[in-house]
Amino acid sequence: MKGDLDDTVLKERLDRHGQEQTQQDERDEQDDGDFSDMLSEMRILLPGAQMLSAFLIILPFNSGFAQIVHMEKLLFLATFFLSLTSLVLLSAPAIQHRLMRPLKDRVRFKRMATRQIVAGAFALAVALVLGTGLVISEVFGPVVGIGMAVLMAALIICAWWLVPMYMKRNAGL
């Protein structure tokens, strides 16, 4: 009788452990899905940052670059620096993930990676606004350049930040 009781207790404990393990596996799968989404988002942002950086790298080697005024050169410097900053921040989570494998604390890593991606997106947004101002000013003059840069800033703020915040708040996403 004591052996039957021990077997029953053992079986209950194993069942409970199995249920807990199944719940943990489901959480891990959700974490993996979130992480896959994060990597996909980086794959979308990185080419934009790369294209802008490539454009900015060749710009000083064009013959007309030497003729731009000092203020435009400072604008170029800020745009170039922010573009490269976005490349570093957007690619950092993928490189860190590769170097830290296997991850011991996935939640903490995802939190850090999310911050880096948002900071990289912010740097890219500012670089896009400054780049818009730089290019349009050169073609149409500073007034139109500033106006288009403000318009680009408004578009980015709406599309990248305000719409997602609105959807999250009102749709329960």
User: In the Cβ-directed half-sphere of 135, how many Cα atoms lie within 13 Å?
Assistant: 15
pLDDT at 25: 47
Query: Across the chain, what does the average pLDDT equal?
Result: 84
* Residue-number span of the structural domain to which 139 is assigned: 2-171
Inform me whether the pLDDT recorded for 87 exceeds 70: yes
**Token digits of residue 43:** 């794959």
Q: Find the mean pLDDT for residues 46-61.
A: 89
**Token digits of residue 20:** 């807990």
Q: Where is mean pLDDT largest: 8-22, 57-71, 92-106, 126-140? A: 126-140
pLDDT at 28: 47
Q: What is the pLDDT of residues 116-134, one digit of tens each?
A: 999 999 999 999 999 999 9
pLDDT at 35: 72
**Does the N-terminal peptide bond of residue 60 adopt cis geometry, omega within 30 degrees of 0?**
no
Number of domains comprising the chain: 1
Q: What is the pLDDT of residues 29-48, one digit of tens each?
A: 455 567 778 778 878 888 88
Higher pLDDT, 26 or 150: 150
Higher pLDDT, 3 or 155: 155
Check: CB of residue 47 under 8 Å from CB of residue 41. no
Higher pLDDT, 6 or 99: 99
Percent of the chain's residues with pLDDT above 90: 45
**What secondary structure, in 3-state letters, does the chain show?**
CHHHHHHHHHHHHHHHHHHHHHHHHHHHHHHHHHHHHHHHHHHHHHHHHHHHHHHHHHHHHCHHHHHCCHHHHHHHHHHHHHHHHHHHHHHHHHHHHHHHCCCCCHHHHHHHHHHHHHHHHHHHHHHHHHHHHHHHHHHHCHHHHHHHHHHHHHHHHHHHHHHHHHHHHHHCC
pLDDT at 13: 63
